[in-house]
Amino acid sequence: MQSTKRDTASWQAADKAHFIHPFTDGASLHKEGTRIITGGEGVWIRDNDDNVLLDGMAGLWCVNAGYGQPKLIEAASEQLKSLAYYNAFFHTAVPSSIELAELLAEVSPAQFKRVYYSNSGSEGNDTVIRLVRHYWDLVGKPERKTLIARNFAYHGSTIGGASLSGMPWMHAQGDLPIPGIVHIEQPHYEALGSGLTREQFGLKAASWLEEKIIEVGPENVAAFIAEPVQGAGGVVVPPSSYWPEIQRICRKYDILLVSDEVICGFGRTGNWWGCQTFGYEPDLMTFAKGVTSGYVPLGGVMVSDRVADVVENGGIFNHGYTYSGHPVACAVGVANVKLLIQEKIVDYVREDAGPYLAEKLATLNDHPLVGYTDGIGLMWAIQIVKDKSTNALFDYDKQVNAICREFARKNGLIIRAIVNDRMIIAPPLVISRAEIDRVVEITRRSLDETLVELQLRGWF
């Protein structure tokens, strides 16, 4: 663990002076002071003052293998010693990038044998935009340029990624989305499905895609992109009728189906990929986060034979990153994928940890502030409500879930407060049953304290 001689106040002062944080209101950050995190082991992180917290968010949905895995650390340092960097542009490659490509093909659905590397999920989705448009040009249908995405999707923060994302507050800054990207409503049953059964609603939500295709003109649509389960949009699990119907519609109009697996990939839903959990066959899959368990940045796109055969035989695709297939990132990716395989971590999520967390979270349903829980595998949301009988939400500006998040942190647990008063729990996939018990125990205590606080404020 990195030992530092500087105290927290000194780090905070330097942070305030020099570091602009992502997705952060600088003024409120520096009023409270940045929390300085210095160590991690398993599902636990430690701050500069030696407080230990259970990381119920796996960093940012990425530390699937947990902190401090010796095999990942060794893989990085061995690669750094032998060859820290070389590119993949000039008819060259390094062994780790080839080995990871081979492994990714092994753990992916049959249509995927090839990968295009990026350094992040955002870049992966930018690659998707360029790749699908290039594909349609090559097959002689250059008018197919529009991508359809969903409201409250999160596909990243580059201009392409933010345009694909369906977050109104992101679009509001910098005149997004860029042209050629349109959105449909999300398959959020509790918010939009009134009067329908879950499965009826799944079909209805999928029909919004068909409506949009007809509105844009099928001959103009390049692809539909979606997360298997919306992550940053609040862990919204679609009805089981949704994805097969989406698949049918994409095939009917010959539209490429892109699965953004940046959160769901690498075991989070209990299979290697979210599309396997929900039963559909995408043409492209974006990945990042869990591929290296976040130890070093890496992302990419799994490219199906349908698209890869065309692009590989279509001359130069004028696209690439200096760090496409970075040796160190790929070496960690190899070690991480092997670890997930050898330790049967994906099976553990599906058969043990996932169902156990689901069962324990369900015990919170009796709480006055909990409307319901929503999730799959090791990605879960607790819906905070003002009124259990109607699932009515508190006014958004009260930020009730942020109150709960702060109590949780004080009690030693990191969980995330997200859009529409949801609390998110998405721990490292190696979390034990005892640690899950602890997560749920602290969550209940924090909900209790939130309730008292709301009563004090006269909000409940």
Ligand X SMILES: *Cc1c(COP(=O)(O)O)cnc(C)c1O
Would you tell me which residues interact with ligand X (CB under 6 A)?
A: 120-122, 125, 154-156, 227, 231-232, 260, 262-263, 288-289, 299
- Specify the residue, 97 or 122, whose C-beta has the smaller distance to ligand X: 122
Listed in order, strand segments (DSSP E) in 21-111 are: 37-41, 44-47, 52-55
Spatial distance between the Cα atoms of 2 and 4, rounded to a whole number of angstroms? 6
Residues contacting 15, CB < 8 A, separation 6+: 30, 34, 36
CA distance 256 to 284: 8
Taking the least distance from each CB to ligand X, the nearer of 371 and 427 is: 427
Q: For ligand X, which is the closer residue by CB, 153 or 440? A: 153
Nearest to 432 by CA among 321, 376, 381, 357: 357
Nearer to ligand X, 108 or 259 (CB): 259
Q: Least CB distance from residue 1 to ligand X, whole Å?
A: 25
What minimum distance in Å lies between the beta carbon of 401 and ligand X?
A: 19
Residue among 379 and 382 whose Cβ is closer to ligand X: 379
- The residue (of 11 and 224) whose beta carbon lies closer to ligand X is 224
CB of residue 10 to ligand X, shortest distance in Å: 29
User: Partners of 414 in the beta sheet?
Assistant: 55
Distance CA 116, CA 137 (A): 19
Closest distance between ligand X and the C-beta of residue 217, in Å? 27
Compute the least distance from the CB of residue 438 to ligand X, in Å.
25
Q: How far is the CB of 71 from ligand X (least distance, A)?
A: 23
- Maximum pairwise Cα distance, the chain: 67
| Placement of tokens 């008063």 in the chain | 421
Which residue number has the CB closest to ligand X? 121
Place of tokens 């330097």: 14
Cα-based angle 336, 337, 338 (whole degrees, multiple of 5): 90
Tokens at 434, concatenated: 């005892």
- As a dihedral over the C-alpha atoms of residue 104, residue 106, residue 111, residue 115, rounded to 10 degrees, the angle is 20
User: Between 121 and 177, whose beta carbon lies closer to ligand X?
Assistant: 121
CA distance 144 to 332: 37
Q: Which is nearer to ligand X, 181 or 403 (CB)?
A: 181
The H or E element that residue 178 is part of is: none
10 SS3 class: helix
CB of 225: closest distance to ligand X in angstroms? 9
- Shortest distance in whole angstroms from residue 426 CB to ligand X: 10
Residue 365: closest CA among 346, 341, 384: 384
